[in-house]
Amino acid sequence: MRFRKIKGAELAEALGITAGMVSDLANSKRALSAKWLRRLADALHTTPGLLLDHDPQDLDSDIIEMWVNASAAQRRQLKDVAQALVRTGTEG
């Protein structure tokens, strides 16, 4: 399991749990309570919503890193550029 370039063992260490417990959480063998979701999100430097709404395997972590590290003004610019690229791609 990898998310945001963090290996399962590294996440386990950050959370103070075993790698097996991380695997159980990732594979839905252990209940993901709101408490665990917040702890995981904090350790992964993301939000609980992102963890719930997206499969980490389907996300480009470079894009996420840019968004997370961007200021509010930079996020508006990133959004504008992405929208322009999508519009250009659908018009051709």
Supply the range of the domain harboring residue 66. 60-92
Q: How confident is the model at residue 1 (pLDDT cuts 50, 70, 90)?
A: very low
Same-domain status, 47 and 66: no
pLDDT at 59: 63
Closest CA to 8 of 28, 31, 33, 25: 25
pLDDT at 13: 93
Same-domain status, 47 and 15: yes
Helices (H), 1-92: 8-15, 19-26, 34-43, 48-53, 61-69, 72-91
Could you tell me if 82 and 22 are in contact, meaning their C-beta atoms sit under 8 angstroms apart? no
Same-domain status, 41 and 78: no
Query: How far apart are alpha carbons 82 and 7 in whole angstroms?
Result: 29
Give tens-digit pLDDT for 12-22. 999 999 999 98
Give tens-digit pLDDT for 36-83. 889 988 988 888 887 887 766 666 667 777 887 889 999 999 999 998
Cα 38 to Cα 42, 75, 81, distances in angstroms: 6, 24, 31
